[in-house]
């Protein structure tokens, strides 16, 4: 049975179909599709789908909304685009109407930008130099997400950009923001360069490259006759890095009718309102030269002239420090001076820290600032630096606000001085002498200076802080005071530039008994006289209001009784 149940070994059959592995065909298909996709990628990018993919890629990389209307490229050279716009979260625009270059797609994908012969028409750049928030971010930092530069930050990469780039009908808008303390929102001031045409010849940003530009300048872009020309050679670093110690510049800027707002936008050391009040709306002529190597640049403001001002400065900008610093060392007082109209903003308060009477000046007049030395950071905290200068005020009249008749800090400084000098003219003229002062880490120290205010001689001595705290001594002398009290009076001046306070009691206590009593009697007489004058002025104002009311009810043509 066992022999009958045994079976022969099965025979291997070769006539049945054999399943071949699928992955070789899939791999071949994938390679074919990839090869075709690579070959036809330039054509794909030209389609609507390709532009959407490209836009999505750019939006994932940059913090901006991107629009692309036209795009054309090839693997071996020639790239063009039309209506490409980046819109940042704060509403700023960067883009152009048309762009043509010799760059190939292969180079662009590698992050290289050898543009060759390149023409850009209708370029628009809204560049925020300072966003005004706590981070002080500029447009580059907002778009790229790069953290603000710090002292320990490594050198930034320079774009691998080269070529002969021609600009036509370009526009560059510089903005600087500050936070409104009431709304906590950013308020921007700006200046616009429009109708820009010119050429850049760039072998590499880390090599010396040249430019030549011209156009118009203003606040709206619609101004006429406000033009500028600028040429120069610049190198921004080495080995593809932005290395400040390797920065070199040899450039000039010549403009006509340039807005004075350009100064506070580029150098945030003074407000736009003060610029307009001091220099007028525009610089009729502006001639600036910037030269230097090794990150130390000499800025020569050869001429910045307007109907009410003349500026001549030669500061040195040191980019190697952090933040960058501005230094001045004058051999002659005329080397670095600012002659301008009297400002009506924060600059007035700043001058009042040197001359407290400046806060009471009326419109008109002029100010001359001669800078002997300066070393301050190029930042919002420039007051932490050091310097020596001379402040001179011209053709000023002072005014006094009406307040209580008590001799206290609620009275203006003019009224407080009037009680001592006996000159009750509360709108006196001031003939000021130059006041030499020094700034050191927020502290201001004065050399004694004497000026004439009405009939009185006023001598200032002591100092203050950049925040406006006064620590001075005022010496008052006048013919009436000497005739009645017999001696001039040295009075401590404290308080702030907004609310200065003469400590008359402390000054009188230091006098001999007889002179002290004379001074008390004298000041009491002046307070009584000032009260009477205030009462007359108040009654005169009331009578005028009554007359004005009667005129409103009685027609001028009414018959007289």
pLDDT tens-place string over residues 222-281: 788 899 999 999 999 999 999 999 999 999 999 999 999 888 888 777 788 888 888 888
Using only C-alpha atoms, the chain has a radius of gyration, in whole angstroms, of 36
How far is Cα 504 from Cα 490, in angstroms, rounded to an integer? 9
Helix (H, G, I), strand (E, B) or coil at 410: coil
In 3D space, the residue among 228, 248, 91, 225 whose CA is nearest the CA of residue 170 turns out to be 228
- Per the structure block, which two tokens stand in for 366? 């002029």
How far is Cα 459 from Cα 473, in angstroms, rounded to an integer? 8
pLDDT at res. 405:
40
Q: Report DSSP state, residue 44.
A: H
Contact present, 492 and 506 (Cβ < 8 Å) = yes
H or E segment at 107? helix 105-109
Strand partners, 254: 229, 287
Q: pLDDT at residue 364 above 80? A: no
In 3D space, the residue among 339, 347, 282, 272 whose CA is nearest the CA of residue 312 turns out to be 339
Strand partners, 112: 160
Q: pLDDT at residue 116 above 90? A: yes
Top-confidence residue, 553 or 385:
385
Across 342-455, the runs of DSSP E, i.e. the strands, are 366-377, 386-394, 396-397, 429-431, 435-440, 443-453
Average pLDDT over residues 166-185: 83
- Where does the pLDDT of residue 404 fall: very low under 50, low under 70, confident under 90, or very high at 90 and above? very low
Q: pLDDT at residue 296 above 60? A: yes
Q: Note the residue count of the chain.
A: 561
DSSP for 389-404 reads: EEEEEESEEB------
How far is Cα 379 from Cα 377, in angstroms, rounded to an integer? 5
The average confidence (pLDDT) of the chain is 85
Contact present, 458 and 413 (Cβ < 8 Å) = no
pLDDT at res. 308:
83
Q: pLDDT at residue 559 above 80? A: no
pLDDT at res. 14:
62
Report the b/e string of 260-297 with b at 16+ CB within 10 A: bbbbbbeebebbbbbbbbbbbebbbebebbbebeebbb
Top-confidence residue, 408 or 197:
197
What percent of the chain is modeled with pLDDT above 70?
86
Domain segments of the chain: what residues?
327-549
Q: What is the pLDDT of residues 496-542, one digit of tens each?
A: 998 999 998 999 888 888 888 888 888 888 888 877 877 777 777 77
Q: What is the pLDDT of residues 318-334, one digit of tens each?
A: 999 888 899 999 888 78
How far is Cα 357 from Cα 65, in angstroms, rounded to an integer? 53
Phi-psi map region of 2: left, alpha, beta (phi>0 left; psi -120 to 50 alpha)? alpha
Q: In this structure, is the dihedral angle defined by the CA atoms of residues 109, 115, 116 and 119, taken in order, positive or negative?
A: positive
């Amino acid at each position: 049975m066992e022999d009958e149940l045994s079976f022969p070994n099965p025979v291997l059959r070769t006539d049945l179909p054999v399943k071949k592995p699928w992955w070789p065909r899939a791999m071949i298909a994938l390679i074919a599709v990839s090869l075709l996709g690579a070959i036809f990628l330039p054509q794909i990018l030209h389609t609507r789908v390709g532009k959407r993919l490209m836009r999505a890629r750019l939006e994932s990389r940059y913090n901006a909304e991107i629009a692309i209307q036209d795009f054309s490229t090839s693997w071996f050279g020639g790239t063009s685009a039309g209506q490409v716009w980046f819109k940042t979260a704060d509403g700023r625009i960067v883009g152009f109407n048309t762009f043509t270059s010799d760059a190939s797609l292969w180079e662009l994908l590698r992050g290289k930008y050898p543009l060759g012969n390149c023409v850009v028409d209708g370029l628009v750049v809204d560049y925020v130099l300072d966003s005004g928030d706590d981070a002080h971010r500029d447009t580059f930092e907002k778009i790229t997400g790069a953290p603000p530069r710090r002292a320990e930050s490594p050198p930034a990469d320079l774009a691998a950009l080269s070529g002969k780039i021609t600009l036509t009908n370009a526009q560059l808008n510089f903005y600087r923001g500050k936070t409104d303390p009431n709304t906590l929102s950013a308020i921007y001031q700006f200046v616009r360069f429009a109708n820009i045409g010119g050429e850049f010849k760039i072998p590499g940003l880390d090599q010396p490259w040249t430019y030549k530009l011209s156009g118009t300048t203003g606040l709206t872009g619609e101004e006429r006759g406000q033009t500028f020309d600028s040429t120069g050679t610049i190198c921004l670093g080495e080995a593809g890095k932005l290395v400040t110690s390797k920065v070199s510049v040899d450039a000039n800027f010549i403009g006509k009718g340039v807005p004075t707002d350009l100064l506070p936008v580029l150098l945030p050391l003074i407000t736009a309102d003060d610029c307009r009040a001091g220099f007028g709306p525009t610089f009729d002529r502006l001639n600036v030269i910037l030269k230097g190597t090794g990150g130390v640049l000499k800025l020569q403001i050869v001429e910045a002239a307007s109907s009410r001002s003349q500026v001549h400065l030669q500061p040195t900008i040191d980019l190697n420090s952090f933040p960058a610093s501005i230094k001045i060392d004058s051999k002659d007082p005329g080397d670095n001076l600012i002659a301008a109209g009297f400002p009506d903003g924060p600059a007035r308060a700043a001058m009042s820290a040197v001359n407290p009477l400046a806060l009471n000046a009326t419109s008109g007049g002029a100010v001359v600032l001669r800078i002997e030395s300066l070393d301050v950071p190029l930042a919002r905290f420039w007051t932490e630096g050091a310097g020596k200068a001379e402040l001179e005020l011209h053709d000023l009249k002072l005014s006094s606000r009406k307040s209580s008749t008590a001799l206290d800090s609620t009275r203006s400084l003019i009224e407080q001085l009037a009680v001592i000098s006996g000159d009750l003219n509360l709108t006196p003229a001031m003939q000021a002498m130059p006041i030499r002062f020094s700034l050191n880490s927020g502290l201001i120290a004065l050399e004694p200076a004497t000026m004439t205010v009405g009939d009185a001689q006023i001598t200032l001595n002591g100092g203050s802080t950049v925040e406006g705290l006064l620590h001075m001594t005022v010496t008052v002398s006048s013919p009436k005071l000497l005739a009645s009290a017999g001696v001039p009076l040295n009075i401590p001046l404290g308080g702030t530039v907004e609310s200065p306070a003469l400590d008359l009691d402390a000054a009188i206590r230091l006098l001999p008994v007889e002179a002290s009593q004379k001074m008390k009697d004298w000041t009491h007489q002046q307070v009584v006289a000032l009260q009477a004058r205030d009462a007359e002025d108040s009654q005169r104002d009331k009578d005028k209001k009554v007359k004005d009311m009667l005129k409103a009810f009685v027609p001028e043509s009414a018959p007289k009784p």
